Amino acid sequence: LEEAAFQLQQIFRIDISIALNILGIESMRAGHCRVAFTCFKLAADRGYSKAQFNVGLCYEHGRGTEKDLEKAGFYYCQAASSHHPMAQYRYARHLLQHGPGSLWDRHHKAVALLEQAAGAGITEAQAYLGVFYMRGLQPQEKRGLKYLLQAANSGDAQSRYHVGVCYEQGLGVQQNLVEARRHYQQSAAAGNRQAQERLQA
């Protein structure tokens, strides 16, 4: 009976958190940012990762509360530790830009989080890693190209442009101007101005 009661409490706690998070989303859509933040915060403090991510967004952008990047990082970290992919991406960015500790530790942890988010299909993480590996102190061009292709295949026009650059300059792949042009055309068709300018050049 104790086990059954515990399970019921867990279900009730989760259901309340889901309901609060949904109410927060609807309130945000209606422009009631303070109400939304309160709902997200109540659900986040119950350990619901989706709400923790939403609280992080509120703190990062100052929606419904004061802008506070440290608190945003805290809630992104909470959600990321529950394997929320977009929170992993956001927390990694936070670590690289604002995080505490040594640069090496932050860098190492951020890359691990970005890899997890990219593996979960987060296009922003794939694109970020692609550029990161291409431009790092010790560039890993093949690895960078892999992530740029993943992001490009998910519809990211900027990553498609970068893939074109890789083929044009032979970065991580054998130089192939025909293939470069194809990627530039696809990127330009999606509205990327850099790709349009590159095609004209």
Q: Which domains, and CATH codes, for the chain?
A: 1-113 (1.25.40.10), 121-200 (1.25.40.10)
Reply yes or no on whether the pLDDT at 6 is more than 80: no
- Mean pLDDT across 101-130: 91
Supply the pLDDT for residue 5. Answer: 67
Reply yes or no on whether the pLDDT at 136 is more than 80: no
Both structure tokens of 50: 């989706």
Supply the pLDDT for residue 15. Answer: 82
Q: Give the torsion through C-alpha atoms of 163, 167, 169, 170, to 10 deg.
A: 120
- Mean pLDDT across 166-185: 94
Supply the pLDDT for residue 3. Answer: 73
Supply the pLDDT for residue 13. Answer: 60
CB 190 within 8 A of CB 172: no
What contacts 31, CB < 8 A, 6 or more positions away?
none
Reply yes or no on whether the pLDDT at 12 is more than 70: no
DSSP-derived letter for residue 155 is: T
What is the rounded distance in angstroms from the CA atom of residue 85 to the CA atom of residue 127?
14
Q: Tokens 């004061």 — which residue?
A: 66
Place 10 in a pLDDT band, splitting at 50, 70 and 90: low
Neighbours of 201 (CB within 10 A): 6
Place 103 in a pLDDT band, splitting at 50, 70 and 90: confident
Reply yes or no on whether the pLDDT at 182 is more than 80: yes
C-alpha distances (whole Å) from 54 to each of 127, 137, 138, 142 are: 22, 34, 35, 35
Return the percentage of the chain with pLDDT > 90, whole number.
78
Place 52 in a pLDDT band, splitting at 50, 70 and 90: very high
> If you count them, how many residues does the chain have?
201
